[in-house]
Structure 1
Amino acid sequence: MSISQGKKIYFASDNHLGAPTKKVSLPREKKFVAWLDEIKQDAAAIFLLGDLFDFWMEYKRVVPKGFTRTLGKLAEISDSGIPIYYFVGNHDLWMNGYFEEELHIPVYHKPQEFTFNNTSFFIGHGDGLGPGDKGYKRMKKVFTNPLCQWLFKRVLHPDFGMRLGHYMSVKNKLISGDEDANFLGEDNEWLVQYCKRKLEDKHRDYFVFGHRHLPLNIDLGNNSKYINLGDWISYYTYGVFDGEKMSLKEY
């Protein structure tokens, strides 16, 4: 993708809309929508790196109630011709066509590589990558198993299924993956280790992830950096690539 002069690519992650309650998250949602309204003026593309919602489950004809402001703004931006890319996180693994059909936003379930103005990016949410985190990795296999998803949707009425999913999403730290929101040091940060291993096979200029709820900008050596976008709960941070370099900013 070539970025025109004056255009930028924006990145955001981990809004967790709906948590701990819709009433509490509403001011955060309004702030995020205001940010989207601002960046559409010079955005060449927008990347949302997962956990936009604290829980999202799509039945065949049912999607979660609420979040009208966010979905409406995303539809407006997408309809204007600005591409938006979505990467599922550990709270919205169950996306299954709604964003693609209604908003024309492609949804990715695994990290992807992009090149902007000859600068290479490796982009994803970040959950389950790198060494460790074995408990969550086992749970993710259950969550992404087609049979388990089919049983959840067929056995549980949406009213009960959504309530159960939201409760577990808020209360279960193994699901949320945010049991330690402090920087652990490069040797103990799983995503740092993951990036370094990926660099052994191929150079990337930037690795961009969410999930950790910490704004991080770490030099990996050899002109490669790991960027964690932080969140829209405590930090309100986002990433922006101006065609030459990537930086973290606060809204």
Structure 2
Amino acid sequence: MQLPKNKKIYFASDQHFGAPTPEMSFPREQHFVMWLDEVKVDAEAIFLLGDLFDFWFEYKTVVPKGFVRVLGKLAEIRDSGIPIYFFVGNHDLWMSDYFEKELNIPVYHDNKEFIFGNKTFLIGHGDGKGPGDKGYKRMKKVFTAPFSKWLYRWLHPDVGMKLAQYLSVKNKLISGDADVKFLGEENEWLVLYAKRKLETKHYNYFIFGHRHLPMKISVGENSEYVNLGDWIGYFTYGVFDGENFELKEYKN
């Protein structure tokens, strides 16, 4: 992707809309829609790196109730010709083809490489990467198995949604949420993951979410790990102008 003059690429992650309740989440949804309205003016592309919803499950004919303003704004932006890319997180890992069919937004279930100008990016949500967190990694394999999804669809949506929303908040093993305190570079799993990837291929930027902590850390020569933070406590996002990547806070 070549970036035209005065155009930018925007990144955001971990909005967790619907948590802890739809009513308490609603002001954050409005805030995020305002941000989308602002960035669409000069956006060449928008990347959403997972956990847009605190829970999402697609039955064959049913999707979760709510989030109309967010989904409508994404549809408007995409219909205007601006590409949007979505990476599933650990809270919306059961996303299927709804975004692709209804919004024309591609959905990725793992990391993906991109080249913007002369800069190389590795982009993803970040859950289950790096050393450690073996309990969650085992749980993720169970949850993403086709049989598990088939079995869950037999629950009535009213029951399935209520159960999953409860577990997404209460059970940290299932949700995969990490300790939001900074663990130090030597213990941050995604930092270690980035450094390991650099042993076989160079990337200018590793862009992830999941940790809920905005951070930008050098992991090698001309290579940085960036965590986008979240839209719960930080309201941070990333922006790339073709040469430099910045983390910013949306204060409007």
1:171 aligns with 2:167: no
* Paired amino acid for 2:197: K
Taking the aligned partners of 1:249 and 1:200, their CA distance within structure 2 comes to: 30
- Report how many aligned residue pairs link the two structures: 250
Normalising to structure 2: TM-score of the pair?
Answer: 0.98
Give the Å deviation of 1:221: 1.9
Aligned to 2:83: 83
C-alpha distance in 2, partners of 1:168/1:217?
31
* Runs of at least 5 residues in structure 1 that lack an aligned partner in the other structure: none
Residue 191 of structure 1 deviates from its aligned partner by: 0.4
Q: Give the structure 1 partner of residue 239 of structure 2.
A: 240
SS at match of 2:115: strand
With 132-141 and 167-176 compared, the bigger mean Cα shift is at: 167-176
**1:213 is aligned to 2:212:** yes
Structure 1 window deviating more from structure 2 (1-10 vs 169-178): it is: 169-178
TM-superposition CA deviations, 1:147-191 (whole Å, max 9, x none): 01101102x111100110111001111123334101000111100
The residue that corresponds to 2:33 in the other structure is 33
Unaligned runs of 5+ in 2: none
Task: Give the structure 2 partner of residue 6 of structure 1.
Answer: 6
Identical pairs, percent: 72
CA distances 1:51-102 after superposition (whole Å, capped 9, x unpaired): 0000000000000000000000000000000000000000001111000000
Residue type matched to 1:246 in 2? F
**Letter of the aligned partner of 1:230 in structure 2?**
G
1:98-156 CA-partner distances (Å, limit 9, x unpaired): 000000000000000000011000000000000000010010001100001101102x1
**2:53: which partner in 1?**
53
3-state DSSP class of the match of 2:198? helix
Give the Cα–Cα distance (whole angstroms) in 1 for the partners of residues 232 and 176 of structure 2: 15
Alignment of 1:126-145 (within 5 A): 126-145=126-145
Q: Work out the CA distance in 1 between the residues paired with 2:242 and 2:87.
A: 22
For the aligned residue pairs, the C-alpha RMSD in angstroms reads 0.6
Structure 1 runs of 4+ aligned residues shifted over 6 Å read none
Q: C-alpha displacement at 1:247, in angstroms?
A: 0.8
- Separation (CA, whole Å) in 2 of partners of 1:233 and 1:138: 27
